[in-house]
Structure 1
């Protein structure tokens, strides 16, 4: 991403409703399928917001981001070791991690999804857990994607097939941010349809941020009860390295 987008992320990810909702879902996924004992890699850690929340798991943490300044900020923010590196060529040994999380990385223009998934599989130990978050639907591509250098979006079925082709097993693919999808469409395709518009990462008025986060919390609670959503703005995937 552009340096300005990293600065926006750094300022917003502790408070902004979307980051809090995403991080909660990653933690839920790891609670259900933690993988074997051992270290966890956040591949594409940005400025360290997720790493900071993952510290609650009490397991060794490592972060990686393409931008050295972001990786340094992630270390300062989370206390975890974060290195600069390429998701297409991870600088880690085979089987080094028991779990790997990667949020909105395979969508990036500098990432080859097939190469990155092969690397994710390589650095995971047998039985290791993979958690991915991906943006949904090519037709939702907008100024936000342009600002953060996203060149591809996914469907749950397509993402599941991609992980199966990469050799992962026990794959789950679930849409989330479903209840707010109509507002997302309105925001991205109508109100801010201009390709020169800013990204969606910014501070919201407190009342609006609380409302949006409350909607995601309701959705998360219903999902925990077994409700599955047929559509959503994002896809959370959970898989195992055989």
Structure 2
């Protein structure tokens, strides 16, 4: 179901055009724009960072390990899903991995900046991409899975985003989240990335439950690399934002990059076996919407 962001009516069909009020969302750079006022300057992220991500994320151990963990979670908790919305899809690195693992699923990627959508559509032409503000999602009971991978920490109104994601899911659907963890790890890296917060587990669990979800799994990851992460964050904690180099963490020799990825693969094997880690640089949460449809006013 689509939800008209102008009159709040819901309607069937693949068109964004609202039959009730006639509202027809704009198109910007070829993409349907549900929040056109934010398409060029939406806040919460630096639009010029997409180019660096598109070049570097595919070979970086952290992005590769996170992708593998996300795909495991999808296979484990929603193995037969047929549709997925990714909030803040960036350059579609995650979504392209999902497409390979679930070739029959309908995939929709959203970004607040249209700049990112150009990279995403080039990487994954088979998916649908829309410009959207995650605080006002134009779907109701449309998807089996909603994913937000290192996204909601950029948004002040994260509770509203979670409630909107809940409404966009079909009954029985799942949300899959990854977020940066531990406020005490806050550093110039978070400031450059336009983070609003780093989460503690209790805060994230509370917000997920308040949005109407039942927690299925929650675990830290990048646990095995915590000593190195702590040293890195303490080193940059007092670094001036003007002198911070966001690409320094990508400048890793190939041999070290491969070793770090292997270490995280061993960690992932422990998670697959049922172990949940209490500490780690990031946290994975999988939560389920009730099988009973409930009308929400958002």
Q: TM-score, structure 1 length as denominator?
A: 0.94
Contact 1:129/1:241 (8 A) holds in 2: yes
Relative to 1, partners in 2 of residues 1:191 and 1:94: Cα closer, same or farther, differing over 3 Å? closer
Q: Which has the larger radius of gyration?
A: 2
Which residue is 1:29 aligned to?
A: 73
Q: C-alpha separation between the residues in 1 aligned to 2:240 and 2:284?
A: 27
Contact 1:95/1:124 (8 A) holds in 2: yes
Once the two structures are overlaid, the 10-residue window that deviates more, 220-229 or 8-17, is 220-229
Relative to 1, partners in 2 of residues 1:105 and 1:155: Cα closer, same or farther, differing over 3 Å? same
Tell me, yes or no, if structure 1 residue 70 matches structure 2 residue 119: no
Give per-residue Cα distances to partners, 1:12-41, cap 9 Å, x unaligned.
121111100111111111101117642111
Which residue is 1:103 aligned to?
A: 149
Tell me, yes or no, if structure 1 residue 214 matches structure 2 residue 262: yes
Shift of 1:216: 0.6
Shift of 1:190: 1.9
Contact 1:35/1:128 (8 A) holds in 2: no
Contact 1:157/1:173 (8 A) holds in 2: no
Relative to 1, partners in 2 of residues 1:32 and 1:236: Cα closer, same or farther, differing over 3 Å? same
Once the two structures are overlaid, the 10-residue window that deviates more, 28-37 or 140-149, is 28-37
Which residue is 2:202 aligned to?
A: 157
Give per-residue Cα distances to partners, 1:112-163, cap 9 Å, x unaligned.
1111011100110000011000100111111111111001011122211111
Relative to 1, partners in 2 of residues 1:212 and 1:38: Cα closer, same or farther, differing over 3 Å? same
Contact 2:219/2:284 (8 A) holds in 1: yes
Contact 2:220/2:277 (8 A) holds in 1: yes
Shift of 1:193: 4.0
In the alignment of these two chains, the number of paired residues is 240
SS of the residue aligned with 2:212? Answer: coil
Contact 1:63/1:82 (8 A) holds in 2: yes
Q: C-alpha separation between the residues in 2 aligned to 1:54 and 1:111?
A: 28
| Structure 2: stretches of 5+ with no match in the other structure | 1-44, 291-298
Contact 2:186/2:237 (8 A) holds in 1: no
More helix by share: 1
Q: How large is the Cα RMSD of the aligned pairs?
A: 1.6
Shift of 1:204: 2.3
Relative to 1, partners in 2 of residues 1:113 and 1:191: Cα closer, same or farther, differing over 3 Å? closer
Give per-residue Cα distances to partners, 1:77-119, cap 9 Å, x unaligned.
022111111111113x2111111111111100x4411110111
Match for residue 89 of structure 1 among 127, 136, 144: 136
Which residue is 1:40 aligned to?
A: 84
Q: TM-score, structure 2 length as denominator?
A: 0.77
